Amino acid sequence: MALLQIAEPGMSSAPHQHRLAVGIDLGTTNSLVASVRSGTAVCLTDAQGRALLPSVVRYHSSGAVDVGDLAQQSQAEDSRNTIVSVKRFMGRGVSDVAHIENAPYDFVDAPGMLQIRTCAGVRSPVEVSAEILRVLRARAEASLGGPLVGAVVTVPAYFDEAQRQATKEAARLAGLEVLRLLNEPTAAAIAYGLDHAVEGVYAVFDLGGGTFDISILRLTQGVFEVLATNGDAALGGDDFDHRVFCWLLEQCGLHQLGPRDTRLLLTKAREAKEALTLHASARVTAQLDNGEVIEATLTSEIFTDITRTLVQKTLAPTRKALRDAALQVSDVKGVVMVGGSTRMPQIQQAVGAFFGCEPLNNLDPDKVVALGAAMQADVLAGNKAAGDDWLLLDVIPLSLGIETMGELVERIVPRNSTLPVARAQEFTTFKDGQTAMRFHVVQGERERVGDCRSLAHFELRGIPPMVAGAARIRVMFQVDADGLLSVTAREISTGVEAAVSVKPAFGLADEDISRMLRDSFEHAKEDMHLRALNEARVDAQRLIEAVHSALEADHELLESEERAAIDCRIEELQSAMKSEDHRAVKTATDALNRVTDTFAARRMDRQVAQVLKGRRVNELDF
């Protein structure tokens, strides 16, 4: 007979009407699947009792696919067809991925997202991720005894539209209904039951193998809101291993090492680091390829000493996130620890000292994200009684906006806006009689379009011809609860409309979010100058266009030397526009404005005269 789970009061499901739902942590190194059984979230294990599935996929020429440990074992022997860390490639082009030349794959730079040529054919990162998800789905269905109604899949808080969309597609390809994409820090907070906790601000400190993320969440009436996120995409446990590795080289007087010895010592370094979690010192012994045996003892003090700068490196983004959220350390009620590297006592201490409170660490930091996702999935699948329900709010990691004249970015949805969000802004035409407008949707914090990430292009046609600046075009940005974006542009008088629902231009010029944020701080001043310059240039261009069309219409109103003066100022302005000095552009613009004053006045007189011609004063309606 069937195996039953305990339901919430009044929530027993009818036979064959299971509401089986899972949470999936689709990680860079490892992936997990969890579900709520008899009211408790648990990670589901494979037949060998392992919860962690290495995020590694190996393709065979026969068409067979290995996923997990089996694939990981063959990494060295068949590295070209064994894909590791595919999460780094999701929604990215070849030019987007840092150090891509170190990856042993045959990349195909397909439009949008890169692809990988394997012996089984060309595969996209979405397809590779789908293989991992398929294994987790099969594991879940075997464990829960039936088909799943859906899954909550977690993504890093900084994932952009393209990366989120790609994650959703991978799930769909694996036959999973995505109930929701959930930000990893939010999932971790849920796992600790903070949704039932005291209202207030919480921090989620996530130090994984290769990445560091800090998120600031606010809980109000059972509702989570991500106030700010920050991090370092190139900081993780691997860096700590590397410090120990370098220390070993120094201690043992080693210099040039072969790749095998390097791998061996890196493994020994990691083991020593892990041993220090529970012990005060760790003994390292290794036999090198040349038969030499090395020995060293790593103490907690030495380790603290050699990794101090790395620990400090986690605190700078933490401070920034707090500043973004406009909060003080004392506002934070609790800190959740996520990621295996937070087991290091040095990290626990530093975080505790920084926030002035004991971090929450009693759940397995490797599993906490999957457990929280499972709890959210349980709610979304309808297994909780009414009133137990709760809603989550997330934020936009980077501002969304559109390109305006002068290659500048007009921000429409600012960074850290809570989701879902809808924002609209009106724009107008630049030229007389302009009937179409091209929209370029971008994401980023910089002032110049080229420094931001391009998401989509679309066109609005059928704008009725009007003078420049008369048309009113309302551009609406909507971001749904999953962080997916749709943009519509509508001309108000006619109602003509064009829309794009990102259709993400998978991966264009940029590296990673933290880098983009850092750039925006570092380049703040030159960005300000650039904006001033480009705005001045746009103003100048608009004036030149206006003068040209006036000259065409009413050139007979000007004496030849007046005309020469105007032409001369136009030329001066055009050459000023080529300079980098926005004040020079502005001065030349003002000069052209002044020299055309008389001309403008005469044109005005003539128009008034035409209107008045042959009419009596009392006929006029002032």
What are the structure tokens assigned to 481, written together?
Answer: 């609860």
Residue 14 touches another protein, criterion: CB under 8 A:
yes
At residue 364, φ and ψ (nearest 5 deg) are -60, 115
In the residue annotation, 431 being an active-site residue is answered as: no
Residue 371 touches another protein, criterion: CB under 8 A:
no
Residue 485 touches another protein, criterion: CB under 8 A:
no
Residue 40 touches another protein, criterion: CB under 8 A:
yes
Nearest Cα to Cα of residue 359 among 374, 329, 387, 338 = 338
Query: 358 and 332 in contact (C-beta within 8 Å)?
Result: no
The residue among 142 and 246 lying less far from another protein, judged by its C-beta, is: 142
Residue 4 touches another protein, criterion: CB under 8 A:
yes
Residue 64 touches another protein, criterion: CB under 8 A:
no
Residue 594 neighbours by CB under 8 Å, 6+ apart: none
At residue 495, φ and ψ (nearest 5 deg) are 80, 5
Interface segment toward another protein; rule CB under 8 A; list 35-43, 56-64, 85-93, 315-323: 35-43
What are the structure tokens assigned to 202, written together?
Answer: 């919480």
In the residue annotation, 206 being an active-site residue is answered as: yes
Residues 286, 119: Cα–Cα separation, whole Å: 36
Instruction: Go through the chain and tell me how many residues it has.
Output: 622
The CA–CA distances, whole Å, from 299 to 274, 304, 313 equal: 12, 9, 22
Work out which of 1, 278, 617, 620 binds another protein, going by CB under 8 A: 1
Read off the amino acid at residue 480: D
In the residue annotation, 195 being an active-site residue is answered as: no
Residue 386 touches another protein, criterion: CB under 8 A:
no
Interface segment toward another protein; rule CB under 8 A; list 12-20, 222-230, 287-295, 309-317: 12-20
Q: Scan residues 43-62 and list those touching another protein (CB under 8 A).
A: 44-47
3-state secondary structure of 493: coil
Q: How many CB atoms lie within 10 A of CB 248?
A: 20
Of the residues 66, 87, 225, 367, only one is catalytic, namely 87
Of the residues 184, 239, 366, 394, only one is catalytic, namely 184
Interface segment toward another protein; rule CB under 8 A; list 38-46, 315-323, 452-460, 601-609: 38-46
3-state secondary structure of 489: strand
Nearest Cα to Cα of residue 197 among 333, 338, 348, 380 = 333
Work out which of 19, 37, 472, 563 binds another protein, going by CB under 8 A: 37
**H-helix or E-strand spanning residue 316:** helix 308-324
Rounded to the nearest 10 degrees, what angle do helices 560-577 and 582-595 cross at?
Answer: 170
In the residue annotation, 384 being an active-site residue is answered as: no
The residue among 37 and 542 lying less far from another protein, judged by its C-beta, is: 37
- By CB under 8 A, the count of residues binding another protein is 28
Closest distance of CB 44 from another protein, Å: 7
Work out which of 73, 79, 143, 404 binds another protein, going by CB under 8 A: 143
Closest distance of CB 10 from another protein, Å: 7
The residue among 144 and 244 lying less far from another protein, judged by its C-beta, is: 144
Interface segment toward another protein; rule CB under 8 A; list 6-14, 160-168, 392-400, 594-602: 6-14
Nearest Cα to Cα of residue 396 among 229, 196, 166 = 229
Nearest Cα to Cα of residue 98 among 208, 243, 211, 209 = 211
Work out which of 76, 122, 142, 564 binds another protein, going by CB under 8 A: 142
Work out which of 22, 38, 220, 369 binds another protein, going by CB under 8 A: 38
Residue 428 touches another protein, criterion: CB under 8 A:
no
Maximum pairwise Cα distance, the chain = 113
Give catalytic residues, as residue numbers: 25, 87, 184, 206
- Residues contributing to the site for another protein (CB under 8 A): 1-12, 14-16, 37-40, 44-47, 139, 142-145
